[in-house]
Chain A
Amino acid sequence: MQSVAPEKAKSPSVFARILRSWTGGTSLIVLAALLVLSILVNLGVVGFDPIAQTPADRLLAPNGTYWFGTDQFGRDIFSRVISGVGSSALISGVAVTIAALFGTLLGLVGGFYRGVIDVFGSGLTNVLFAFPPLLLALTLASVLDRNWFTVAVAIGIVYIPIFARVTRGPVLSLREIEFVKAAKSTGMASIGIMFKHVLPNIYSIAIIQIALSLSWAVLTEAALSFLGLGSPPPAPSLGSMIYEARTLVLIAPWTLWAPGAVIVVFVVCLNLLGDSLRDILDPRSKEVNS
């Protein structure tokens, strides 16, 4: 555990430092552009209605009207891809929030109180860790009613143990550190100590993990929808678009490359953002990773 040195008066902000590194900055801008675009598409300002079918315009190659071409129902692929990025971001965001919330709480409470709670928490973590992630996500998704929220819940549950494990260790050492003991000796309630003194010290660990988990969540969501266990159609989803493109790719290659290229760009940006956030928040990783 690194010493808990007082942070420099929070300057410059993490956000500014991300923007300054060119990989972090570029990926942040691309991600923001994709998200804004997807909101505009869903509001109907840009492109077409992602689920509107125009049978007369089936399987058109990319052109001035349909930038990424059309699919077998005459739907605009550009609008579908961009709207798919939006829903993928929504599902992944909710999933990682669920995982971060419950996982951090599990690690915090278990590490802080030890005893029976910790045994139960660590046991649950080990059980969830015993499944290959995609397998657990797809079994959970098949058990729950299918809509975008349950897909997010399924992915979220899979990533709970990661957050529990990365936070529990630091909490174990934090509870032995002087300022926590000092707070205890002043008679402060232990629940107050946990949230006021211990939790703020594991924020950066949780934030790094959130950033790294987002790209996995996007890939998991895409794999689930590729396998037919994501949000039900006709909602546009990158995974199911690629699935449908398998049979069309010979006559209409854009049905594969458009969603394929966009998901790769999306995940590359998330990975770069996660890496640069980690370099900034975790000084130890910097020597090794930059």
Chain B
Amino acid sequence: MRVLESAVVKKAAGSLATLVGVAIFVFFMLRAIPGDAISASLGTEAAGLTEVQRKSLEEYYGLDQSLASQFFSWVGNLFQGNLGFSVRAQQSVLDLTAAALPVTFQLAVFAIILALAIGVPVGMLAASRVGKPRDVIGQALSLIGLSVPAFLLATTLLTFLAVNLGFNPNGLGYKTFFEDPVVNLQQMLLPSLVLGFGISAPIIRTTRAAVLDVSGQDFVRTAKAKGVSTRRLQFKHILRNALIPIVTMTGLQFGYLLGGAVVVEQIFSLPGVGRQVLTGIQQKEYALVQSTVLVIAAAFVIVNLLTDLLYRAIDPRVRAE
């Protein structure tokens, strides 16, 4: 138990160090933007500023400070829950993010459930008869999932369903699950289908490879020799052992979804965090971009840490290390 705890502490410390690095990286990445925050927020009007006005604005935004002190005041503010203020939305970035995160989270959970529901059975079926039709179909499905861009699938689905069936729940304003569960679930349906289909591809591949890998091991042969039924062999002996790579891949994909759903959020007008970054970029609100990207990266690091802990729980061998 002590070994497990020290491994967990080590992992957590590593994640924390990564987060510090992420904060530094995000800060300096957005400082590389040509021009300063003043011209960015005022646009062409910035040219009309007098020297005094510009000075006072620089003071207001803290631009007269050194980069290091700007960085520390940003981080200091983050710790107090001050993520900045969005001028366009007239709302704090904290409030915006608090509203956007659940949208992305719900979408990611639905997409992952769909991906697992498609990917694990297809992967297992493919592995059960290597080279036979069901394997070829499974592999073809994963190839299509890997190769069809999400935005193409989303655009096609949206247009054809809207026109032919008049089904366009995303055309109305977004409703949270608590405001209107029926509309909310309808609005989540197409985007999670699109994302879930894409993610089922790596899940199919991982499941197939892991099942094949486990099937070749001695204990499976022994179990077969003992007369264990095929079903029991498949689920109890093989799938359980193949679960670790599947869990790792699922965690990784879930993390990707937290920010990678930006295209799908944009197409289906879902106000998630990915779309918030994109809007920030389009409207040149870099305070919004900076803090939201950091929040997403932090969520990603936390998901990875949890995945790591989860497979420690599944696999006794990792626990013992």
- The chain A residues found within 8 Å of chain B, CB to CB, are 123-124, 126-128, 130-135, 138-140, 142-145, 215, 219, 222-223, 226-229, 239, 242-243, 245-246, 249-250, 256, 260, 263-264, 267-268, 271-272, 287-289
A243 to B34, CA, bound (A): 27
The one of A229, A246, A268 in contact with B281, judged by C-beta atoms closer than 8 angstroms, is A229
Cβ contact within 8 Å between A250 and B163: yes
Cβ contact within 8 Å between B300 and A260: no
The one of B30, B151, B209, B256 in contact with A132, judged by C-beta atoms closer than 8 angstroms, is B256
Cβ contact within 8 Å between A142 and B297: no
Residues of chain B lying within 8 A (CB to CB) of residue A268: 143-144, 147
The one of A124, A223, A242, A271 in contact with B147, judged by C-beta atoms closer than 8 angstroms, is A271
- The chain B residues found within 8 Å of chain A, CB to CB, are 14, 17-19, 21-22, 25, 29-30, 32-34, 143-144, 146-152, 155-156, 159, 163, 208-209, 212-213, 216, 255-260, 262-263, 266, 274, 277-278, 281-282, 289, 293, 296-297, 300-301
Q: Binding site of B, secondary structure by majority: helix, strand, loop or mixed?
A: helix
Cβ contact within 8 Å between A126 and B14: yes
A132-B259 in contact given A138-B281, A143-B33 (Cβ < 8 Å) = yes
A110 to B74, CA, bound (A): 32
A223-B143 in contact given A229-B281, A256-B155 (Cβ < 8 Å) = no
Residues of chain A lying within 8 A (CB to CB) of residue B262: 134-135, 138, 227
Please give me the residue from chain B that is nearest to A250 by CB atom.
B163
Task: Give 20 pairs: A residue, B residue, CB < 8 Å, sorted on A.
Answer: A126-B21, A127-B18, A127-B22, A128-B25, A130-B297, A132-B256, A132-B257, A132-B260, A132-B296, A134-B262, A138-B281, A143-B29, A215-B147, A239-B151, A242-B155, A264-B148, A267-B149, A268-B143, A271-B143, A287-B212
Residues of chain B lying within 8 A (CB to CB) of residue A135: 259-260, 262, 274, 277, 293, 296
A246-B277 in contact given A126-B18, A134-B262, A135-B296 (Cβ < 8 Å) = no
Residues of chain A lying within 8 A (CB to CB) of residue B144: 264, 268
A130-B22 in contact given A142-B281, A223-B151 (Cβ < 8 Å) = yes
Please give me the residue from chain B that is nearest to A23 by CB atom.
B143
Cβ contact within 8 Å between A246 and B155: yes
B151 nearest CB across to chain A (Å): 5
The one of B34, B143, B147, B259 in contact with A145, judged by C-beta atoms closer than 8 angstroms, is B34
B75 nearest CB across to chain A (Å): 15
Cβ contact within 8 Å between A138 and B143: no
A288 to B262, CA, bound (A): 34
Residues of chain A lying within 8 A (CB to CB) of residue B19: 130
Cβ contact within 8 Å between A227 and B263: yes
Most buried by B among A246, A268, A288, A289: A288
A219-B155 in contact given A132-B255, A227-B262, A288-B209 (Cβ < 8 Å) = no
A127-B159 in contact given A132-B258, A134-B262, A143-B30 (Cβ < 8 Å) = no
Residues of chain A lying within 8 A (CB to CB) of residue B212: 287-288
Please give me the residue from chain B that is nearest to A135 by CB atom.
B259
A141 nearest CB across to chain B (Å): 9
A212 nearest CB across to chain B (Å): 10
Cβ contact within 8 Å between B281 and A219: no
Cβ contact within 8 Å between A272 and B18: no
Contacts A142-B281, A264-B149, A267-B146 known; list 16 others, CB within 8 Å.
A123-B17, A124-B21, A130-B22, A130-B297, A130-B301, A131-B259, A131-B296, A131-B300, A139-B281, A139-B293, A140-B29, A263-B149, A268-B143, A268-B147, A288-B213, A289-B209
Residues of chain B lying within 8 A (CB to CB) of residue A139: 29-30, 277, 281, 289, 293
Cβ contact within 8 Å between B149 and A219: yes
A134-B260 in contact given A127-B25, A249-B159, A289-B209 (Cβ < 8 Å) = yes
A289 to B144, CA, bound (A): 16
Cβ contact within 8 Å between A127 and B21: yes
A260-B152 in contact given A130-B18, A135-B262, A145-B34 (Cβ < 8 Å) = yes
Cβ contact within 8 Å between B263 and A226: yes
Most buried by B among A128, A130, A250, A260: A130
Residues of chain B lying within 8 A (CB to CB) of residue A229: 281
A234 to B296, CA, bound (A): 33
A145 nearest CB across to chain B (Å): 7
Residues of chain A lying within 8 A (CB to CB) of residue B143: 268, 271-272
Residues of chain B lying within 8 A (CB to CB) of residue A143: 29-30, 32-33
Cβ contact within 8 Å between A242 and B289: no
